[in-house]
């Protein structure tokens, strides 16, 4: 493969990743609006579904939130009927956050068809291709998480940048 073709393919993959991020964001935004919760709560709900029952501290780490923000999100999800706190059966001192049956039902309604379509799309790939896809996606998630941390901790955007909204250009009014 020529260097030009190789570079073009890399560019196409990077654009596809960006498009996937954007459309995933649109799905999450629409789902959160439909459920009457905010995006942070949606992210917490997704973590509980993906990783299983967890403590508020574990959820804070998984969702990349402060412990206080995670607790507030759990409170909102409980009020909305999508999460509940239950005592850990092995360690009664711990409380775990679990999805409610209502949350499981709405998750099935919102993501069930998409999950089936994704599974069908992946079914045509060989085991080796699936391993490659999985490894690429996991590595991409890690890179993007590191970038989010760098941005959050001021290692990418200079101090003070973005703290003042950009001024809109003056327009002449008749």
Strand partners, 96: 86
How buried is 97 (Cβ within 10 angstroms: 0-12 exposed, 13-18 middle, 19+ buried)? buried
The domains of the chain, with CATH numbers, are 3-100 (1.10.10.10)
Q: What are phi and psi of 86, to 5 degrees?
A: -130, 145
Tokens of 169: 């250009």
* Tens digit of each residue's pLDDT (9 = 90 or more) over 111-134: 999 999 999 999 999 999 999 999
Confidence category of residue 160, pLDDT binned at 50, 70, 90: low
Tokens of 105: 């039902």
Per the CB < 8 A criterion, the answer to whether 26 and 39 are in contact is: no
* Tens digit of each residue's pLDDT (9 = 90 or more) over 26-64: 999 999 999 999 999 999 999 999 999 999 999 999 999
* 3-state secondary structure at position 99: strand
Gap between the Cα atoms of 60 and 107, Å rounded: 21
Q: How does 101-111 read in b/e, with b if 16+ C-beta sit within 10 Å?
A: eebeebbeebe
Confidence category of residue 170, pLDDT binned at 50, 70, 90: low
Q: List the end-to-end C-alpha distance of the chain, in Å, as a whole number.
A: 60
CB atoms closer than 10 angstroms to residue 36: 11
Per the CB < 8 A criterion, the answer to whether 31 and 110 are in contact is: yes
Query: What is the average pLDDT across 13-25?
Result: 95
* 3-state secondary structure at position 37: coil
- Closest by alpha carbon to 119, among 130, 109, 103? 130
Give the torsion sign (CA, 130, 136, 108, 55): positive
């Amino acid at each position: 493969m020529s260097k030009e073709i190789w570079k073009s393919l890399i560019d196409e993959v990077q654009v596809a990743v960006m498009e996937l991020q954007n459309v995933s964001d649109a799905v999450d935004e629409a789902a959160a609006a439909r459920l009457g919760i905010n995006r942070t709560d949606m992210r917490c709900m997704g973590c509980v579904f993906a990783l299983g029952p967890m403590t508020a501290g574990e959820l804070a780490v998984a969702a990349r939130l402060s412990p206080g923000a995670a607790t507030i999100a759990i409170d909102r999800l409980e009020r909305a009927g999508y999460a509940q706190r239950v005592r850990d059966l092995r360690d009664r001192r711990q409380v775990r956050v679990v999805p409610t049956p209502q949350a499981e039902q709405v998750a099935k309604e919102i993501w069930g068809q998409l999950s089936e379509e994704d599974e069908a799309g992946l079914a045509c790939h060989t085991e080796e291709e699936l391993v490659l896809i999985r490894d690429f996606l996991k590595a991409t998630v890690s890179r993007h998480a590191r970038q989010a941390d760098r941005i959050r901790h001021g290692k990418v955007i200079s101090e003070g940048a973005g703290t003042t909204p950009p001024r809109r250009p003056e327009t002449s009014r008749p």
